[in-house]
Structure 1
Amino acid sequence: MVNLKNLTVALIIALAYEALLKLTHIFQAAITCNFSPAFYNIMPILFFLTHAAIIYFLYRYYQVKFV
């Protein structure tokens, strides 16, 4: 029998990873088109914030332990 909690956590991780990939493609396109050099400063902060938000969400609502 499939555990619904584990399936939901796996789905959330997959969707978050997909969103990160989409953001990466958008920012790479913006950087190569030379829209703004500020993207070089924003990208690491964005990656850190999204990873922190995903980990906090999984820990807070699903009690997933990161050991």
Structure 2
Amino acid sequence: MLSCLAVVLAVHPTSDSPVRPAPVDVLAVARQVLLTEADALRDVAQAVAATPDFGRCVAALLELRGRVVVT
């Protein structure tokens, strides 16, 4: 799968060389990225459903004052 950087480089080459990069099927890349992200979201949804303390954690976060850093 191509990364976003590969798409950007294909659309905006960094050198002044007359050699053009191979065309990239942007729609195919976008579709694959979206399918990959959808799979990841399904995994997160299953993990949340399997975590009995999730609601308690959300409630604790909502009660905090100031900012929360999430990594």
Give TM-score, length-normalised by structure 1: 0.45
Structure with the larger RCO, 1 or 2 (CA within 8 Å, 6+ apart): 1
Larger Rg: 2
Give TM-score, length-normalised by structure 2: 0.43
